[in-house]
Amino acid sequence: MKVTGFEFLNPGLSEMFRVLLGSAEGESFDSLFPDLRIKCGTAKSRGKNEGELVWQNERFCWRFIPVGKDGAVFLMKQAGDREFLMESTLDQITQGIQIYDKNGMAVYFNPATRKISGIPEDMNVEGRHLLDLYDEDEEISTILTAIRTGSPVLNRVDHFKLSTGRELATVNTAYPLYRRKELVGAVSVDMDQQYVKKELKRLREAEDALAAFREKGEEIRFSGYTFDHIIGRGMADAVRLARKAAESESNVLLVGETGTGKEIFAQSIHRASGRGRNRMVALNCAAVPETLIESVLFGTVKGSFTGSENRVGYLEQADGGTLFLDELNSMSMSMQSKLLRVLQEGVFRRVGGEKDIRTNVRIIASCNEDPFAAIRENRIRRDLFYRISTIMIDLPPLRNHLEDLEELIRHHIRVNDRLFLHTFTEIQDEVLEIFRNYAWPGNVRELFHVLDYARNVADDDVLRPEHLPPYMKRTVGPAESSSREAAGPGEHHDFSRDTLQDIMDEYEHRVLMEALEHFGYNITKTAEALGLRRQSLQYRIRKYGIHI
C-alpha cells in the first residue's frame, strides 16, 4: 500500500507538515509509519480503536475507523510538552503577546493581551482577522506592517478602538516569523501606554536617585582620614591589624557596632596601601534601594526605549583602587550572589549591557553585627563571607574602652573649635561620671553628638551636667544596655530623678538615632519607616540636636 496524498483538516498543520509530507507521497505506508500497523493490530485485539504514537518527534493520536474490508486511520496532532511549556511561559508574561499567521489571522493571545485590550476570556479570537478584533488602519497597524514589510516594527504607539467600542493606546513592537526563509506569521509585544508612562517615571526617579548617590560617593571618595585620626589606646590592637592589612592586597571585613569608626578604618587602610593614590569609592548598602543597587555598582547602558543613560558604576570608578561596602549585611542575598561572581571572575556587565568589563578592585566591607549570626540567619552568604573576610578586624564598642573618654572628648572639641561659639576648657567631674556610667549604644558617634549638643546650649566654656541632652540625665551602666537596644519596657528608671517626659524623650531619641543610622541618614526613608511626615522628623532632629 502506497501513500497517494494527504488531506489536512487543520490549516495550521498544513503549514507545518505540507513540505515534509509532500516528499512522502508515493512511499510505502508501512515504511512511513512503521509502528502504526503493529499498534493498530494490538489495539484491535484488545477491543480498542485508538491510541497514541510518536512520528517525526511529534506526538499524534490515531483513530481506526472500519471502511469496507479494511479501514481508515486518522492522525490527530497532539500538543507535546514543548508546546505546553512554551504556551504556559507566554501566559505568565505581564506584557501582551499576540501571534498571527501570515494572513493576519489570530493564532494566540496571552492573558495580558486580553487584560490590556479588554477582551473577555470566553471570547474566541483564534482564526479571526486582526481588523475584526481592532478598529484600526491596516497601513499603520504594527503587526500588519511587520507582515507586509517582513521587517521588525519597534516601539510604535497605536491608537485604536476595540470591537467593544473601547479606545486604547498601546506601545507595540512586532517581529515577522520565518520558517526556512518563508514568512509564516508575526508576533507582537504590547504594553499599555499608561503602564509605560509609570515605568518611565520610575526609571527617571531611579536615575535621579542614582545621580544623587554618585554625588555622595564622590564626596566620600576624597575624604582624608588616616590612622592618625583614630584616637585612644583601646583601639590599638585594631589599628595594628589594620596597618598590616594595608600592606597586602587582601579583602578586609570590618566588624563593629554603629558609630565605632568603620569608615575611618576603611579610608585609613586604603590611604596607607599601595592603592592609596587611586580612588576609593564608598557605598552604604543600607541606604540604596534594592532595585537600584545593581545599577549603582555595575553601571548602566543607554537603552533605546527605557531612557537609561550610559553611567559608570562604582566597580569601574574604583578600578585600580578600593571599593568600600558599608553595612554589607543590608545587601540582598540575590545582589550578594552577583557581587560574588565579580569577586570570583573579576568581570561584570553593566545593567542592559552585553560587554564583559574587567575590574581590578580591592573590597573593604563592613558589618554592624556578628557576621556569623548573619550567616546563620541567611542574611550574608557564607561563600561571599569567605571571599571578603580574608582579614577580619573587630572594632571594640566605646563601652569597652571608657579609659579613652577624656582623650576623645578633648580631640573632638579641638578639631571642631571653629564651628561653635563656646569651646569647653573645663569638664566637670559629674559629667565624666555620667559618661562612664552610660552604655553608649551609638558609640563614638553618639559621644560626639552629645558634645555638639552641649556646645550649642552652653553659656560658657565649662561643660556641666545641665548641658547634656535630657536622656543623659539618667545614668546607665554598660551591663544594662547593648548597642542594639534602646531604652524601653523592662528597663529600670530612677523615678526620683526622671519624669515620664524624660524617659519618653530618651526612648524617642534612641529610636531616632537607630533609624537614621540604619537608613544612612536619609530623611525621606527614615520618616516613611517611622510613619512620620518629613517635617515631623526634622522637628525631632532639631529638638534632640541630631546632626545630619
pLDDT tens-digit readout, 180-208: 889 999 999 988 767 666 766 666 666 66
The pLDDT of residue 478: 40
Nearest to 505 by CA among 463, 535, 545, 465: 545
For residue 236, what pLDDT band results from cuts at 50, 70 and 90? very high
Q: Which domains does the chain have, with CATH numbers?
A: 11-79 (no CATH), 82-196 (3.30.450.20), 222-394 (3.40.50.300), 399-543 (1.10.8.60)
Q: Are 170 and 134 in contact (CB under 8 A)?
A: no
Query: Mean pLDDT, the chain, as a whole number?
Result: 80
Which pTM value belongs to this model? 0.53
- The CA distances from residue 417 to 232, 445, 460, 461, in Å, are 20, 17, 14, 12
Give me 179's grid cell.
520558517
- Helix ranges (H only) for 33-186 are 36-45, 81-92, 111-117, 130-133, 142-149
- Which of residues 344 and 9 earns the better pLDDT score? 344
Query: What is the secondary structure of 109-138 as a DSSP string?
Result: E-HHHHHHHT--TTS--TT-BHHHHEE--T
Angle, CA of 196, 197 and 201, to the nearest 5°: 115
Nearest to 170 by CA among 101, 100, 112, 102: 112
Average pLDDT rounded to a whole number, residues 347-370 = 92
For residue 178, what pLDDT band results from cuts at 50, 70 and 90? very high
Q: Are 158 and 191 in contact (CB under 8 A)?
A: no
98, containing H or E segment: strand 96-101
- Which of residues 213 and 304 earns the better pLDDT score? 213
- Which of residues 414 and 62 earns the better pLDDT score? 414
Average pLDDT rounded to a whole number, residues 461-483 = 66
Q: In the β-sheet with 280-284, what is the strand arrangement from edge to edge?
A: 280-284, 322-326, 362-367, 252-255, 391-394
- Helix ranges (H only) for 358-428 are 371-376, 382-388, 405-415
Q: How far, in Å, CA of 249 to CA of 322, rounded? A: 10
Q: Are 271 and 226 in contact (CB under 8 A)?
A: yes
pLDDT of residue 55 exceeding 80, the answer is no
Q: Is 345 exposed, middle or buried (0-12, 13-18, 19+ CB in 10 A)?
A: exposed
pLDDT digits (tens, 9 = 90+) for 10-41: 555 565 565 556 566 666 666 766 666 555 55
